[in-house]
């Protein structure tokens, strides 16, 4: 994708990877609009990055998505890049009863949010030059983390959806990129100071290099090995990975 001269919309842009990407693209001279449910986070981000724009968005609500998409098209007609980054990650119990609120909220936000946001903007993106959709998945879509089984499953589903989306949007000329982060130091699972996780700055720096290279799939650090895992023998790495995580400090 081109690295400057874009108008980007990033969901979940008030913290973590979303904010890191927003600031990196902002520094390159792009017009950046961020969204999220917490306006205090969004306001702090745009205050630190003059010229950045923030809009409130609840990805759990289809009406909110449709309204924000309509406003974006009207107010930012040059919008050509959508980054579906927003997500929730909560500890669940795959061996116990289903927490209905956790289950529905995670699926509707992580998968439904990206599907609905893409659908709301894809008609507009088809009319733009150098249009791009970026779906932020996770290495856990390839090697699930058992204490966050539902989150991991949503990321596997979004990976599959991305493959379909990339195929379907070849003719209109929209590049569809999957960004599958490793464990990064963010607020997800209280990982801001997690020694086992990759520093956010280092992750963003390498991810931006790969964006500039034009690839359709961005893999940083441990993500390379994890991406190669799915196949007939995948249970072995799932077991090893989860045993390793279980031997460290508790998650969440």
| pLDDT tens digits, 130-161 | 999 999 999 999 999 999 999 999 999 999 99
Per-residue pLDDT of 191-225, as tens digits, reads: 888 888 999 999 999 999 999 999 999 999 989 99
Q: How many domains in the chain? A: 1
Q: What is the residue range of 167's domain?
A: 7-246
Catalytic residue list contains 161: no
Q: Is residue 167 part of a domain?
A: yes
Q: What is the pTM of this model?
A: 0.93
Per-residue pLDDT of 44-67, as tens digits, reads: 999 999 999 999 999 999 999 999
Confidence of residue 247 (pLDDT cuts 50, 70, 90): confident
Question: What's the 3-state SS for 100-118?
Answer: HHHHHHHHHHHHHHHHHHH
pLDDT at 249: 73
Q: Is residue 1 part of a domain?
A: no
Q: Which of 37, 43, 47, 25 is nearest to 68 (CA)?
A: 37
The active-site residue out of 9, 142, 151, 241 is 151
Q: Is residue 71 part of a domain?
A: yes
Confidence of residue 252 (pLDDT cuts 50, 70, 90): low
């Amino acid at each position: 994708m081109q690295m400057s001269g874009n108008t980007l919309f990033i969901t979940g842009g008030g913290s973590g990877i979303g904010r890191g990407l927003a600031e990196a693209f902002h520094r390159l001279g792009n017009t950046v609009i961020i969204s999220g449910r917490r306006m205090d986070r969004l306001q702090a981000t745009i205050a630190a990055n003059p010229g950045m724009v923030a809009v409130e968005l609840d990805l759990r609500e289809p009406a909110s998505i449709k309204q924000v998409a309509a406003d974006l098209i009207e107010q930012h007609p040059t919008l050509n890049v959508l980054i579906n980054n927003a997500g929730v990650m909560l500890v669940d119990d795959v061996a116990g009863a289903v927490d209905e609120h956790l289950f529905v909220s995670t699926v509707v936000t992580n998968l439904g949010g990206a599907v609905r946001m893409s659908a709301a903007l894809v008609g507009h993106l088809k009319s733009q030059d150098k249009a791009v959709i970026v779906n932020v998945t996770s290495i856990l879509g390839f090697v699930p983390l058992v204490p966050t089984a539902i989150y991991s499953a949503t990321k596997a589903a979004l990976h599959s959806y991305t493959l379909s989306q990339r195929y379907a949007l070849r003719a209109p000329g929209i590049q569809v990129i999957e960004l599958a982060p490793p464990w990064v130091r963010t607020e997800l699972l209280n990982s801001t100071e997690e020694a086992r996780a990759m520093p956010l700055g280092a992750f963003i720096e390498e991810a931006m290099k790969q964006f500039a290279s034009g690839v359709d799939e961005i893999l940083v650090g441990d993500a390379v090995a994890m991406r190669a895992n799915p196949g007939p023998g995948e249970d072995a790495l799932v077991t090893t990975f989860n045993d390793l995580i279980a031997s460290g400090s508790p998650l969440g």
